[in-house]
Amino acid sequence: MKPQKLTIVLCLLIGTQNIFAQTKNTERLAFPFLILESQKNIIVTADLDHPKPCAPEYTNLLSNTNLISPSELNKLREVTRKYKNVSSNSGPAGSVFERWGLRYWKHVDLNGITNAFRVACFAYANCDAKDEIYEQIPKCIIAKFRTRSGDGYDVYLVKNSLIMYQEYKGGVLDGLFVMVHDPHSPNDADPHIGMWARFVKGKIQGRFIAWHMDEHDGGQAGFKIVAEAEFRQPFDFLKYQSIPIDYAWTDAPPSNPQHPLN
């Protein structure tokens, strides 16, 4: 999957139309990001064909403590400051350039990527951690920060503003996953979330919510929930995803012989 500047959430949602079309003749709601065969033990309460109003407790502001705790919000702000003005030629403060590395997207749409890409690898003198910086275009970077034990995060920023953040523990997704609507909108002093979920030991647990701006009244009606599911037990989301939303990469070529990189 090749990230698209500022429009990733919208593109993912629009791209689900074919999935919903397959279920129009049934009463079953379809969660857009998962193959239909995997959706037996989850509760879907909203999709693009059946959106629902956004309840006040799920208002998709980054500052909503029902979704993101104050400590998590502070961390998001710290991470955003950390990578301000960072590029593949200039790493975060306290880091030292080590080498260039070749990387591959770990979870991709077969039509979404055709080439490997180069990252700048940085190390820190004061802690046992490393940063890898991929600069897709100027002012558009994805960073992979990990300690030796595999704790850290992936973060995607455009023009120094947060677009995506996902946490890791022990080398697997664990913690907050969030995507943000266009933070440069003049009406978004408090950025709006586009997607929100939490992972535990590599599997999703609890709610997954996606929002989109209501098209009525010229977008003044606010946001509606266009995808919502409740995962009551840990669910292997990455295994069954039909539209890749994970920004993880690997230094080894994908093993799937059908993959375009092979």
pLDDT one-digit tens code per residue, 217-254: 444 457 899 999 999 899 999 989 888 788 889 887 76
- Structural domain spans, the chain: 8-86+150-249
The letter for the amino acid at 161 is S
Is pLDDT at 40 greater than 90 in this prediction?
no
Q: What is the pTM assigned to this prediction?
A: 0.84
The highest-confidence range among 13-17, 105-109, 217-221, by mean pLDDT, is 105-109
The letter for the amino acid at 30 is A
> Is the separation of the CB atoms in 53 and 224 below 8 Å?
yes
pLDDT level of residue 82 (50, 70, 90 thresholds):
very high
Q: How far apart are CA 98 and CA 257, in angstroms?
A: 32
- In this prediction, residue 252 carries a pLDDT of 78
- In this prediction, residue 8 carries a pLDDT of 45
pLDDT tens digits, 26-38: 467 888 889 988 9
pLDDT tens digits, 172-210: 999 999 999 765 554 556 789 999 999 999 999 999 999
Q: Which two tokens stand for residue 73?
A: 């919000």
- In this prediction, residue 11 carries a pLDDT of 45
pLDDT tens digits, 136-158: 888 899 999 999 999 999 999 99
- In this prediction, residue 189 carries a pLDDT of 60
- In this prediction, residue 153 carries a pLDDT of 97
Is pLDDT at 1 greater than 90 in this prediction?
no
- In this prediction, residue 215 carries a pLDDT of 62
**Residue percentage of the chain with pLDDT more than 70:** 77
- In this prediction, residue 48 carries a pLDDT of 86
